Amino acid sequence: MYRCKICRKVYVAPVKYCDCGNDEFEVVVQQQPKQASLYNIQNIISWIIFLLCLTAAVLVWFI
């Protein structure tokens, strides 16, 4: 992704000129979504473990 240095508009594909007339762009590296998805996976796993423990506790209660 490319962000205009003047108006901060983000372009997915490289363009020669921004809408504001600027031709200098900075490359934006997307790392946030990866960290977010990794966090989500850890969150889901912890929830599954929690639900398994809860299910086991309920089963013991009923036996």
Contact range with Zn ion by CB under 5 A, out of 10-18, 27-35, 36-44, 52-60: 10-18
Amino acid code (one letter) for 16: K
In the region spanning residues 11 to 40, those forming contacts with Zn ion, defined by CB under 5 A, are 18, 20, 22
**C-alpha to C-alpha distances, 19 to 13, 34, 49, nearest whole angstrom:** 14, 30, 51
Q: Which of 1, 7, 10, 53 binds Zn ion (CB under 5 A)?
A: 7
Strand partners of residue 4: 25
CB of 30 to Zn ion, least distance (A): 19
* End-to-end CA separation in angstroms for the chain: 58
Q: Which residues of this chain interact with Zn ion, rule CB under 5 A?
A: 4, 6-7, 9, 18, 20, 22
